[in-house]
Amino acid sequence: MEAVRRIDPRLLAIAGAAFISVSAILFRLSGVSSGTAALFRCALALPVLAPLALWERRRAGPRRRGAVDVAAGLLLGADLVLWGASIERVGAGIATVLVNVQVVVVPLLALAVLGERPTRRFAFAVPVMLTGVALAGGLAGHGTGSDPVAGIAFGTAAGAAYAGYLFLTRVAGRGQRHRAQPVLLSTCGAGVMAVALGAPWQGVDVTPGWAALGWLAALSMTGQVCGWMLIGAALPRLRAEEGGTLLLLQPVLAVAFGAAVLGERPGIVQIAGCALVLAAVRLAGRPRAERSDSERAPSPPGTVHRRDDSAARAAARSRVGTRA
Query: How much is the pLDDT for 320?
Result: 43
At 88-128, the pLDDT tens digits run 777 666 777 778 788 888 888 888 888 888 888 888 888 88
pLDDT(165) > 60: yes
DSSP string, 166-194: HHHHHHHHTT---SHHHHHHHHHHHHHHH
Higher pLDDT: 124 or 312? It is: 124
Is residue 162's pLDDT more than 70? yes
Q: What is the CA radius of gyration of the chain?
A: 23
Residue 305's region, left for phi above 0, alpha for psi from -120 to 50, else beta, is beta
Question: ∠ CA 182-1-19 to the nearest 5 degrees?
Answer: 65
Q: Which has the minimum average pLDDT: 50-64, 157-171, 175-189, 285-299? A: 285-299
Query: Using CA atoms, how far apart are residues 227 and 8, in angstroms rounded to an integer?
Result: 16
pLDDT at 305 over 90: no
Q: Would you state the pLDDT for residue 61?
A: 78
What's the average model confidence in pLDDT over 172-182? 78
| 3-state helix, strand and coil shares in percent for the chain, rounded to the nearest 5 | 75, 0, 25
Above 50 in pLDDT, residue 266?
yes
Q: What is the mean pLDDT of the chain?
A: 79
Least confident of 46-50, 127-131, 172-176, 237-241: 172-176
Quote the CA–CA distance of 21 and 223 in Å, as a whole number. 8
Helical (H) or strand (E) element with 118:
none
**pLDDT at 50 (0 to 100):** 94
pLDDT tens across 39-85, in order?
899 999 999 999 999 998 888 777 777 899 999 999 999 998 888 78
Tally Cβ neighbours within 10 Å of residue 263: 7
If one compares 291 and 143, the residue with the highest pLDDT of the two is 143
Residue 134 has pLDDT above 50, yes or no: yes
